């Protein structure tokens, strides 16, 4: 009985892997979702009765167990570089000229691929098994998202391990067992193989999830890319598995052998190993063919079930790529062709004024719904009242809207020939539209603000920002729930969030016991967020995530920051006079002292970085500028190296600079360093110093 059960389990696994391959790689499924689910349930039931037969690469093990406590940082074996962008056919031709100038008389072929608008990841396989997955991060290091990637059915857990006959056949066929597809195709699996690709959310899944979120009174995701990025950063892989994410491979990272001679050959071998690759790729014999392919895809992109924001053009021959090399930031053998922003014509139904977390009043156009870049747009920010007056947008106007960076809808032009005769200029409000309090314009600025500190609209926005994914990351504390909490008087400050209990939350509209328990759990987990996230969440004027990280690293603790004077703040690189003044005023206000004490009383830890600051290094106390390219290091890698040895990397040479590293093809910074009499090293001298 034992052997027969084991064989049945292996056959079921083989069938499920075959159907995954047919669906995600071959794009030719032969069973319905229901039939697949029945096979999966049968396997799960058998494994439940025989847990000793469960293996890590079984299809049932894609959904993880307990939530993670956080994400580890992984350093990429091969840097995940960014790409230079082009926006026209002429710029593509210029790219081709640069390639041919280095390559010479050799024939150059290009592979043209759709540029999927998702999240770049690297999958590491050792001995054919998935051992690690990481986000791109800064190109040098990324987050370890292995547990979440394992939930994606499109990602093979073992390379090439699908049913032997990966062709349409009877759904219930239990003959033949399982063998590796690469054994049939003679494709050898390297000991180490990194597959680079994109994780994305199909448009259909995006619409489904947003419909569910709206029904649950949760804020909908802005776009599929944001939804994907947020999903991959979830600590509970079981929740990630519900998001319908997909993976498509498009290149290689580290490979321990010479595995392919061309990019196309590498893609074919990945396909043979059951890795789904970007289907939108074509071989072009010259740059004019590249331009034709880009133009065709620009017209047809709406037919895809996922977002693309352009095309990627790559030299096909890998030896030619070696010859072309790279700059400090990007490879010379590839380039991105970005599509022009899609525009649509619609009407302004009304102009309303929103109140932000700092009291800023922002005019917003409510539009007649229109399809734009794959999503329905019904609102567009008008930024501020000076911008509104400059564009002269009025209620009833016919306007052109586009998505800035394919994300944020904005009005770009008013079609004044279609303007109604009775239209009226929109005037800035003389009082806050929410609390009817006094408003005032920033001195020397463009924003009008409500100056009533008790304004409930400001409180809602501050709380929403505080709970956001890039700040305290309190999953479930969306705008609808925040509005209820403020309206019911349950939350009047940041600290009040931490005083909520399950019973209070469960009693709110559209909240049940399970949702309340999950929210309270997320609130409790946020107590350990690092200092930089707390600073970013407090809503200090001019202080975003980057400035918060700089302040946290510089001072190491909240107490040290609270006692800093203006001179200390202004002396920090990346902290200008406006930020320094804003931070100083915030830190030395009585309200802030009470706020911080309140947050500490409810249990916020706000861990700083004191231990890391005390760590010594060969560059301790030095401010380093690098100009030109140094060996094969990317700019991000060099900055990480400088920081690792105790130094601070900056981009401009000044009297505060203590060391300038001059690499190949340096810019004017080298000359300025000599004029200022600063210490100068060649790139190799710099690397030798750190190595010794």
Average pLDDT, the chain: 84
Residue with tokens 């060969």: 618
Q: How confident is the model at residue 516 (pLDDT cuts 50, 70, 90)?
A: very high
CATH number at residue 601: 1.10.150.20
Do residues 354 and 366 touch, judged by C-beta distance below 8 A?
no
Please tell me the predicted confidence (pLDDT) of residue 29.
66
Q: Burial code of 508-518, b = ≥16 C-beta within 10 A, e = fewer?
A: beebeeebbeb
Q: Among 3, 97, 101, 115, which one carries the catalytic annotation?
A: 115
DSSP string, 575-604: --HHHHHHHHHHHT-HHHHHHHHHHHHTT-
Q: What is the pLDDT of residue 408?
A: 67
**Has residue 558 been placed in a domain?**
yes
When mean pLDDT is compared across 149-158, 297-306, 408-417, 668-677, the lowest value belongs to: 668-677
> Are residues 538 and 434 part of one domain?
no
- Dihedral sign for Cα 645, 647, 653, 654, please: negative
Say if residue 395 is in the same domain as residue 270.
Answer: no
Diameter of the chain measured on Cα atoms: 85
Residue 573 confidence class, pLDDT cut points 50, 70, 90: low
The residue that leads in pLDDT, 611 or 3, is 3
Residue 485's Cβ-side half-sphere holds a number of Cα atoms within 13 Å equal to: 29
| Same-domain check for residues 635 and 668 | yes
Residue 445 DSSP one-character state: S
Identify the weakest region by mean pLDDT among 166-175, 208-217, 308-317, 571-580.
166-175
Tell me, what's the pLDDT at 429?
A: 93
In a domain? residue 556: yes
In the chain, the N- to C-terminal Cα span, in Å, equals 64
On whether both 14 and 54 belong to a single domain, the answer is yes
Q: Tell me the C-alpha distance between 366 and 396, whole Å.
A: 10
Return the percentage of the chain with pLDDT > 90, whole number.
Answer: 38
pLDDT digits (tens, 9 = 90+) for 390-444: 999 999 999 999 875 455 688 989 999 999 999 999 999 999 998 999 999 887 7
Dihedral (CA of 286, 291, 294, 296) sign: negative
Q: What pairing do the DSSP bridges indicate for beta strands 192-200 and 141-143?
A: unpaired
Percent of the chain with pLDDT over 70: 87
- Say whether both 194 and 248 belong to one domain: yes
Residues 6+ apart with CB under 8 A from 534: 471, 472, 558, 599, 604, 606
CA atoms of 267 and 285, how far apart (whole Å): 18
CATH number at residue 18: 1.10.287.610
171 domain residue, yes or no: no
DSSP state letters, 14-37: HHHHHHHHHHHTSS---S-HHHHH
Highest mean pLDDT among 17-26, 74-83, 366-375, 391-400: 391-400
Residue 450, domain member (yes or no): no
- pLDDT, one tens digit per residue, over 545-566 is 778 888 988 888 999 999 888 8
Which residues sit opposite 376 in a β-bridge?
Answer: 371
User: From the CB of residue 77, how many other CB atoms can be counted at a distance below 10 Å?
Assistant: 13
- Boundary of a domain, candidates 338, 353, 378: 338
Domain boundary (528, 556, 577) is at 528
Question: In this structure, are strands 192-200 and 179-180 parallel, antiparallel, or unpaired?
Answer: unpaired
| Integer Cα distance of 86 and 80 in angstroms | 19
298 and 357 co-located in one domain: no
Total tally of structural domains belonging to the chain: 6
User: How many angstroms separate the CA atoms of 657 and 653, rounded?
Assistant: 6
**Which burial class, exposed, middle or buried, applies to 97 when counting CB atoms under 10 A from its CB (0-12, 13-18, 19+)?**
exposed
Mean pLDDT value across residues 49-62: 76
DSSP H helical segments within 377-478, as ranges?
385-391, 456-466
Provide the 10 A C-beta neighbour count for residue 520: 19
The 3-state DSSP class for residue 292 equals helix
Instruction: Work out the average pLDDT over 644-668.
Output: 79
Backbone phi, psi, residue 466, to 5°: -55, -40
Decide if 447 is inside a domain.
no
Same domain, 393 and 434: yes
pLDDT of residue 247: 95
Indicate the pTM of the whole model: 0.52
Whether pLDDT at 69 is above 70: no
**Counting every residue, how long is the chain?**
692
Using the Cα atoms of residue 405, residue 370, residue 423 and residue 351 in order, give the sign of their dihedral.
negative
Q: Is residue 196 part of a domain?
A: yes
CA distance linking residue 550 with residue 579, whole number of Å:
12
> What is the rounded distance in angstroms from the CA atom of residue 194 to the CA atom of residue 132?
9
Identify the pLDDT of residue 373: 64
Q: What 3-state class would DSSP assign to 135? A: strand
Separation of CA 457 from chain center: 29
Q: Quick one: pLDDT at residue 617?
A: 76
H/E segment holding residue 440 = strand 439-441
Q: Residue 639: which CATH number?
A: 3.40.50.10190
Predicted local distance difference test score (pLDDT) of residue 181: 39
Handedness of CA 207, 211, 213, 214 (dihedral sign): positive
In a domain, 451, yes or no: no
Asked if 408 and 426 sit in the same domain, the reply is yes
Pair 251, 261 in one domain: yes
Return d(Cα 266, Cα 251) in angstroms, integer: 8
Residue 611: per-residue pLDDT: 37
CB-based contacts of 361, cutoff 8 Å, min separation 6: 353, 354, 355, 385, 428, 429, 432, 433, 439, 447, 448, 449, 450
Is the pLDDT at 184 greater than 80? The verdict is no
Answer yes or no: 49 catalytic: no
Distances (CA, A) of 573 to 538, 577, 611: 22, 11, 21
pLDDT category of residue 176 using cuts at 50, 70 and 90: very low
On whether both 114 and 251 belong to a single domain, the answer is yes
Cβ atoms of residues 592 and 534 within 8 Å: no
CATH code for the domain of 98: 3.30.470.30
| Span of 13-17, 193-197, 309-313 with lowest mean pLDDT | 13-17
Q: Tokens 């008790």 belong to which residue?
A: 454
In a domain, 659, yes or no: yes
Listed residue (102, 89, 573) closest to 340, CA to CA: 89
Can you give the CATH number for the domain in which 398 is found?
2.40.50.140
- The yes-or-no verdict on residue 65 having pLDDT over 70 is no
Residues 376 and 244 in one domain: no
Distances in Å between the Cα of 79 and the Cα atoms of 198, 231, 258, 633, 635 are 16, 24, 18, 9, 11
Q: What residues contact residue 97 under an 8 Å CB cut-off, 6+ apart?
A: none
Range of the domain at 652: 615-691
Mean pLDDT of 360-373: 89
Mean pLDDT for 263-276 is 92
Residue 493 host element (H or E): none
Burial category of 34 from C-beta neighbours within 10 Å (exposed 0-12, middle 13-18, buried 19 and up)? exposed
Domain boundary (578, 596, 613) is at 613
Of the candidates 108, 123, 518, the one whose C-alpha atom is nearest the C-alpha of residue 313 is: 108
Residue 248 has pLDDT above 90, yes or no: yes
**Secondary structure tally for the chain: helices H, strands E:** 27, 24
Mean pLDDT, rounded, for 70-99? 89
Which region among 2-11, 268-277, 300-309 has the lowest average model confidence (pLDDT)? 2-11
* 194 shares a domain with 133: yes
What are phi and psi for residue 596, nearest 5 degrees? -65, -45
């Amino acid at each position: 009985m034992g052997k027969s059960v084991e064989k049945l389990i292996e056959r079921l696994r083989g069938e499920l892997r075959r159907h995954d391959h047919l669906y995600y790689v071959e794009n030719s499924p032969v069973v319905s979702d229901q039939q697949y689910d029945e096979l999966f349930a049968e396997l799960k039931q058998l494994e439940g009765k025989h847990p000793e037969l469960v293996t890590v690469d079984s299809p049932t093990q894609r959904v993880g167990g307990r939530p993670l406590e956080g994400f580890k940082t992984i350093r990429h074996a091969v840097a995940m570089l960014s790409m230079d962008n082009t926006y026209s056919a002429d710029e593509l031709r210029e790219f081709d000229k640069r390639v041919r100038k280095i390559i010479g008389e050799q024939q150059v072929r290009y592979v043209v691929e759709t540029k999927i608008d998702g999240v770049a990841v690297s999958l590491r396989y050792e001995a054919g098994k998935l051992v690690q997955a990481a986000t791109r991060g800064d190109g040098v290091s990324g987050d370890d998202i292995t547990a979440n990637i394992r939930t994606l059915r499109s990602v093979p857990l073992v390379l090439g391990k699908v049913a032997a006959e990966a062709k349409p056949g009877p759904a219930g066929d239990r003959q033949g067992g399982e063998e590796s597809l690469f054994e049939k195709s003679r494709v050898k699996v390297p000991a180490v193989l990194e597959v680079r690709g994109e994780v994305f959310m199909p448009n259909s899944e995006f619409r489904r999830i947003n419909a569910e979120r709206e029904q649950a009174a949760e804020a909908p995701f802005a776009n599929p890319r944001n939804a994907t990025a947020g999903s991959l950063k979830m600590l509970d892989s079981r929740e990630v598995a519900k998001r319908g994410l997909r993976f498509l491979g498009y290149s290689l990272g580290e490979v321990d052998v010479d595995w392919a001679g061309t990019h196309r050959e590498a893609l074919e071998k990945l396909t043979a190993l059951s890795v789904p690759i970007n289907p939108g790729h074509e071989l072009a014999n010259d740059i004019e063919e590249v331009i034709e392919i880009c133009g065709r895809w620009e017209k047809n992109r709406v037919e895809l079930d996922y977002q693309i924001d352009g095309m990627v053009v790559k030299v096909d021959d890998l030896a030619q790529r070696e010859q072309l090399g790279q700059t400090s930031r990007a490879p010379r053998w590839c380039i991105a062709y970005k599509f022009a922003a899609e525009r649509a014509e619609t009407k302004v139904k009304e102009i309303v004024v929103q109140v932000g977390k700092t009291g800023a009043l922002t005019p917003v156009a409510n539009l007649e719904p229109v399809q734009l870049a794959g999503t329905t747009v019904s609102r567009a920010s008008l930024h501020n009242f000076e911008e509104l007056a400059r564009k002269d947008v009025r209620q009833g106007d016919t306007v052109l809207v586009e998505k800035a960076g394919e994300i944020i809808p904005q009005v770009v032009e008013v079609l004044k020939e279609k303007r109604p005769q009775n239209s009226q200029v929109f005037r800035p409000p003389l009082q806050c539209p929410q609390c009817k309090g006094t408003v005032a314009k920033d001195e020397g600025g463009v924003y009008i603000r409500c100056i009533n500190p008790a304004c409930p609209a400001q409180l809602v926005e501050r709380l929403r920002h505080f709970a956001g994914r890039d700040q305290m990351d309190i999953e479930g504390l969306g705008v609808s729930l925040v509005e209820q909490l403020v309206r019911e008087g349950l939350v009047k400050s940041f600290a009040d969030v931490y005083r909520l209990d399950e019973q209070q939350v469960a009693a709110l509209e559209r909240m049940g016991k399970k949702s309340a328990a999950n929210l309270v759990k997320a609130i409790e987990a946020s107590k350990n967020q690092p200092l930089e996230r707390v600073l970013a969440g407090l809503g200090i004027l001019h202080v975003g995530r980057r400035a918060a990280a700089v302040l946290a690293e510089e001072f190491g603790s909240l107490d040290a920051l609270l006692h800093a004077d203006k001179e200390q703040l202004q002396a920090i690189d990346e902290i200008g006079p406006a930020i320094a003044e804003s931070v100083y005023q915030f830190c030395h206000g009585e309200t802030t002292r009470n706020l911080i004490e309140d947050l500490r009383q409810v249990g916020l830890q706000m861990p700083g970085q004191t231990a890391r600051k005390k760590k010594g290094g060969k560059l301790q106390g030095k401010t380093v500028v690098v100009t030109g390219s140094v060996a094969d290091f990317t700019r991000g890698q060099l900055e990480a190296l400088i920081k690792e040895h105790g130094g601070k990397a900056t981009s401009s040479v000044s009297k505060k600079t203590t060391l300038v590293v001059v690499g190949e093809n340096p810019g004017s910074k080298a000359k300025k360093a000599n004029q200022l009499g600063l210490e100068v090293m060649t790139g190799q001298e710099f690397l030798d110093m750190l190595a010794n």
